[in-house]
Amino acid sequence: MSTPAPRGPVDSSRVPRYAGPATFARLPRLDEVGRADVAVVGVPFDTGVSYRPGARFGGNAIREASRLLRPYNPAQDASPFALAQVADAGDVAANPFDINAAVETVEAAADGLLATGARLMTLGGDHTIALPLLRAVARKHGPVALLHFDAHLDTWDTYFGAEYTHGTPFRRAVEEGLLDTEALSHVGTRGPLYGKQDLTDDEKLGFGIVTSADVMRRGVDEVAQQLRERIGDRPLYVSVDIDVLDPAHAPGTGTPEAGGLTSRELLEILRGLAGCRLVSADVVEVAPAYDHAEITAVAASHTAYELTTLMARQIAGERA
């Protein structure tokens, strides 16, 4: 039985980009196509933040900005929406008053989507959601390699005694055996820490670090090559906190840090992951209340587009 041709975005030569529902990249909803190779799902949740709230509105801001995306990606020489069925799966209705309940809801929703054979492109929300997403992905693939783009380590133990926050997901993920500790990398970290012990603890968990200054000094090609070598042929999960970008490129986020990556550097590193076994990804911490002219949402939409293209190319290659 042949696989039906994917249904792509609304034709912008017939329907203006500013008209109609703001699904990701103007793609069909999941209920309109019945199945998806890549399901784009929003998680409007930000109860786990430690500073500025507002990322609960990030997913829809990314969708609005994604109206400008087009079907052909010249940087990867691919038409992702023709290679695989990508569809917008809507939002996960996570409890905004109970973090534990929200984590359980996100995990169950991810389980359900992954069970259909889809890979997830999740739009956050704050970084707390990475933990339940990783639980679901590891349940399907076993411990995965993690590539974590962020200004911060997010491997702290607790905040105010809480184990589930946007600063703790990857410590919990290591403790729960969700990650392959031979293939863990932070990219773009910078800024002050509570103490040098933060770095010591992070190293003990298995993480390697490529700081934003490393990217500047060594260049994106060398960094991407190093990351590919560390990942190898392992199943890979990519988690992007948009604050990995300098505030000049992403002002709309909850915990900005000076000295970050440019949007060009982030996109080029992602493009350099071609050939890796990307099984799912997220883009989180877009807080549109602090955004200016949708700068952050535009960067996040292109980040999700590059990740989606990587997954679509991989799916097409597996079917060939």
- Both tokens assigned to 42: 């929003």
- What pLDDT sits at residue 26? 98
Mean pLDDT of the chain: 97
The CA-atom distances, in angstroms, between 19 and each of 14, 64, 91, 101, 320 are 10, 11, 21, 36, 36
Mean pLDDT of 189-208: 98
Tens digit of each residue's pLDDT (9 = 90 or more) over 205-250: 999 999 999 999 999 999 999 999 999 999 999 999 999 999 999 9
pLDDT tier for residue 2 given thresholds of 50, 70 and 90: low
Tens digit of each residue's pLDDT (9 = 90 or more) over 147-181: 999 999 999 999 999 999 999 999 999 999 999 99
The CA-atom distances, in angstroms, between 191 and each of 138, 213, 290 are 31, 11, 20
Higher pLDDT, 62 or 3: 62
Q: Show contacts of 101-108: CB within 8 Å, 24+ apart.
A: 102/45, 102/47, 102/128, 103/128, 103/129, 103/131, 103/132, 103/164, 104/132, 106/43, 106/45, 106/132, 106/133, 107/132, 107/133, 107/135, 107/136
Which helix (H) or strand (E) segment is 105 a member of? Answer: helix 99-115
- What pLDDT sits at residue 4? 83
Tens digit of each residue's pLDDT (9 = 90 or more) over 23-54: 999 999 999 999 999 999 999 999 999 999 99
Spatial distance between the Cα atoms of 283 and 223, rounded to a whole number of angstroms? 20
Spatial distance between the Cα atoms of 59 and 287, rounded to a whole number of angstroms? 9
Tens digit of each residue's pLDDT (9 = 90 or more) over 301-319: 999 999 999 999 999 999 9
Contact predicate 105/93, CB 8 Å: yes
- What pLDDT sits at residue 3? 72
- Both tokens assigned to 280: 């799912």
Q: Does the annotation flag 180 for ligand binding? A: no
- What pLDDT sits at residue 62? 98
Q: Does the annotation flag 241 for ligand binding? A: yes
pTM more than 0.95 = yes
- Both tokens assigned to 219: 């260049």
Using CB atoms within 10 Å of the CB of residue 14, give its burial: 0 to 12 exposed, 13 to 18 middle, 19+ buried: exposed
Q: Does the annotation flag 243 for ligand binding? A: yes
Say if residue 1's pLDDT is above 60. Answer: no
User: What are the boundaries of each domain within the chain?
Assistant: 24-319
CATH topology of domain 24-319: Arginase; Chain A (3.40.800)
Q: Does the annotation flag 282 for ligand binding? A: no
Mean pLDDT of 278-282: 99
Tens digit of each residue's pLDDT (9 = 90 or more) over 74-131: 999 999 999 999 999 999 999 999 999 999 999 999 999 999 999 999 999 999 999 9
Mean pLDDT of 130-138: 98
Q: Does the annotation flag 150 for ligand binding? A: yes
